[in-house]
Amino acid sequence: MYLLTGGEAVGVLVVQHLREEGPYAVGEALAAAGLRMRPCRVWAGDPLPENLAGVEALVVMGGPMAAYSDAGFPTRGAELDLLRAALAAEVPVLGVCLGAQLLAVAAGGTARTGSGAQVGWGEVRTCSAAGRDPLFMGTPERLRVLHWHADTMELPPRAVPLAFCERYPAQAFRVGGAAWGLQFHLEADEAAVDAFAAAFPEEAATAPGLREAAPGELAALAAHRDRVFGRFAALVAARAERTATRAFFTPKAAAWETRFAADGPRYETAVARLGLSPGQTALDLGCGTGRALPALRAEVGDKGTVLGVDVTSAMLVTAAREGRADQACLLLADCHRLPLPPGVVDGIFTAGLLDHLPDPTTALREWARVTTPGGALLLFHPSGRAERARRHGRPLSPDDPLAEPNLRPALDGSGWQLDSYEDTSGYFLARAVRTC
């Protein structure tokens, strides 16, 4: 399922706990990638958002608070909730220092007081997994970085360690495929060093030569720092559409089936219009919780194949909970890049998807690629276009991809021929045939 177009894009949410602990090099990398940042300065009273709708990534910076205590840290619970939501929805995350400890806690690890402050320039060593990591690949085995912390963490069981030092082993890690924690301050530039030293003079005094050494240390670190953050920014930009979709649908997945339970008979009627035969292969794109999958299975029978594709893993989890994994193979995939060879599908069913995609024409071409000549595509929604527009409080747009004057040429240019178009108050249905 894909996010409704027209929703407000937040960009990259950057949570700052202190004026001095800004994003520095992280912000420069995000800006260079064309990404918009939304600072949330909790130190100044900025409210945290209640959810991640429209958020392309979550960056949580450092601060003197404790990741294991609410004392002096009134936003701790809300930040942990956002981090857990980001992990569940696969929203890219970068946590620095305190942010890394909060990420560890959100993922099931713990944070605690350390054996003393670690402040100043010091070495970390990369782990073997860093050589395969999307951000740390190519980073040298030994790296001198800026340390500035007294607390530490125990990583959650599913975390992948990426860097360590003897005193505090948890220095960098990844959770899942898109969440990174850095205990050290890789983001620091000379302005950051000066700001930290001014904000925490007693701690800075324990690291003689801190400021004097900064230009040389930062010059040696710059290429590696810029590569890591450049890769993070590129990942965020490449995944932005999928991230917004997952952030929108993940918290709704558990109740989705109950919310739309009455639509089942209309899906069955629509599936029958595909004209599938026993033994054929059917594909449900943006299948969500899989409401069409039982009807597709009934059409192709036990010897046929049914595939359900969605970009939101939480939707597929709900589909499996509803028993749909017994009726179809559920695939986590982007409908613009299907993991299927050419010409293997006999019929594609998709409900409420095409007009929500960032590039409908590219999607139609990809769907044509995997469909055999003569195969069918059925675009469906249990409400007509006018009814949906009314429900959302907007007029029908002449640019709507599902309007017949727009849909017909889009199909014609993508390997399809429209053979049925019905837009009633009770449903929308368009059927097309794959041309040779």
Select which of 20, 21, 90, 187 is catalytic. 187
**Contacts (Cβ under 8 Å, ≥6 apart) of 398:** none
DSSP 263: G
Told to judge if 187 belongs to the known catalytic residues of this protein, a careful annotator would answer yes
105 has which bridge partners? none
Place of tokens 């890690």: 173
Select which of 185, 224, 336, 381 is catalytic. 185
DSSP 7-69: PPP-EEEEEESSSS---THHHHHHHHTTPPEEEEEGGGTPPPPSS-TTEEEEEE---SS-TT-
Taking the CA atoms of 405, 409, 414 and 420 in sequence, report the sign of the dihedral they define: positive
Amino acid at 17: H
Select which of 17, 56, 79, 97 is catalytic. 97
Neighbours of 48 (CB within 10 A): 15
Told to judge if 97 belongs to the known catalytic residues of this protein, a careful annotator would answer yes
Find the largest Cα–Cα distance for the chain: 78
Backbone conformation region of residue 21, classed left if phi is above 0, alpha if psi is from -120 to 50, else beta: beta
SS3 of 184, please?
A: coil
Residue 434 burial (C-beta neighbours within 10 Å; 0-12, 13-18, 19+)? buried
- Residue numbers annotated as active site: 97, 185, 187
